[in-house]
């Protein structure tokens, strides 16, 4: 892995869950880090500890504005593009805004990166791209039809990145995240991800509701595995690793029923009363993929990816963080 020391790196969506964790890791490695965020979904509290660091720069702006993207990319060596409107339900309720941010915003950023001579563009892709493909485990070359507007936008990002690589001699790497969780993930709001949402409910002694019978399964991925993948993608000198898309996951699947039980167990070590909270079931959610399990062989072979946190270890770390910070 090439050192990231003294590199100038832009993290879009840097005030968000994944972005702020990436910034923390990059600053620890001695990088000069810019954070571009509109605070539409990110939070200032996530970056408060960085504001006094002379190696950190906050750029408040929206990726839907090409001029903002141009200014943010100026002088950068690497871009880690995390900015997006996440959530399948959000995209179903408001496909237009999801399209504007995730497609037009992505295009603005990759153009700005190209025009400013950015050496490497690493972007957050999504496991939602696999759509209705029933193949397990998910391998990067086999996808189905998208099941939501959000999934469409993330697939279009991959297509644009591939075209830019072929047309402009541009280095891009996409990371298909699988159900990322961990510290700083927001438990509040209508579109909160399942783990932080359930954490908040358990901590308030409220019953979490599983969509459907609970047998849907996911490849839950702790944030430190995602940080590792981004740092590897940003620094790899392997020419075969460039202009590729990789699954970023642990490579194991867990049902929602198992997740709820394990989460309750992990939280109960901090508050024994949580062990008595009942787990409920509700209707299935539109656009949900029944099962998700990643093959991570490609990332292992080309990037040297070695995820260190399985679900239960990650849950332990995440629960400790929530009890200390919520």
Q: What angle do CA 55, 64, 120 make, to 5 degrees?
A: 50
Rounded CA-CA distance 277/45 in Å is 30
The whole-angstrom separation of Cα 12 and Cα 152 is 20
Encoded tokens for 73? 């990319």
Q: Encoding tokens for residue 7?
A: 């590199």
Local structure of 147: helix, strand or coil: coil
CB neighbours of residue 12 within 10 Å:
28
Catalytic site includes residue 168: no
Contacts of 16 (CB under 8 A, 6+ apart): 37, 41, 42, 43, 46, 82, 83
When computed from its CA atoms, the radius of gyration of the chain, rounded to whole angstroms, is 19
User: Using an 8 Å Cβ cutoff, are 176 and 299 in contact?
Assistant: no
Q: At 272, list the tokens.
A: 């024994």
Name the strands in the sheet holding 32-37, side by side, starting at the edge strand that comes first in the sequence.
56-60, 32-37, 8-12, 78-81, 120-126, 172-177, 244-248
3-state secondary structure of 37: strand
Which position has the token pair 């995240």? 177
The active-site residue, picked from 150, 155, 246, 322, is 150
Which positions are annotated as active-site residues? 150
């Amino acid at each position: 892995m090439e050192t990231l020391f003294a590199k100038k790196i832009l993290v879009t969506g840097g005030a968000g869950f994944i972005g702020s964790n990436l910034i923390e890791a990059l600053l620890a490695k001695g990088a000069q880090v810019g954070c571009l965020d509109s605070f539409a979904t990110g939070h200032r509290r996530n970056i408060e500890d960085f504001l006094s660091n002379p190696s950190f720069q906050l750029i408040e702006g929206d990726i839907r504005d090409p001029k903002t993207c141009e200014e943010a990319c100026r002088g950068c060596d690497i871009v880690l593009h995390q900015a997006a409107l996440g959530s399948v339900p959000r995209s179903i309720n408001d496909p237009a805004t999801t399209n504007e941010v995730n497609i037009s915003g992505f295009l603005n950023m990759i153009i700005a990166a190209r025009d400013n001579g950015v050496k490497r563009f690493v972007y957050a892709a999504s496991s939602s791209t696999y759509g209705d493909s029933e193949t397990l485990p998910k391998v990067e070359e086999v996808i189905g039809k998208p099941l939501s507007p959000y999934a469409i936008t993330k697939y279009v990002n991959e297509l644009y990145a591939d075209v830019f690589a072929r047309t402009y001699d541009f280095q891009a790497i996409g990371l298909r995240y699988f159900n990322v969780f961990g510290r700083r993930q927001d438990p509040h709001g209508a579109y909160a991800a399942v783990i932080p949402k359930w954490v908040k409910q358990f901590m308030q002694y409220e019953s979490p509701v599983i969509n459907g019978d609970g047998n849907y399964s996911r490849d839950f991925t702790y944030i430190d595995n995602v940080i590792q993948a981004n740092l590897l993608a940003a620094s790899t000198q392997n020419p075969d690793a460039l202009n590729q898309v990789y699954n970023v996951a642990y490579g194991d699947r867990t049902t929602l029923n198992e997740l709820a039980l394990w989460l309750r167990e992990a939280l109960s070590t901090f508050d024994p009363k949580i062990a008595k909270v009942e787990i409920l079931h509700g209707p299935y959610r539109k656009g949900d993929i029944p099962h998700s399990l990643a093959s991570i062989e490609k990332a292992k072979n080309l990037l040297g990816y070695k995820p260190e946190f399985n679900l239960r270890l990650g849950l332990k770390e995440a629960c400790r963080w929530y009890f200390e910070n919520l």
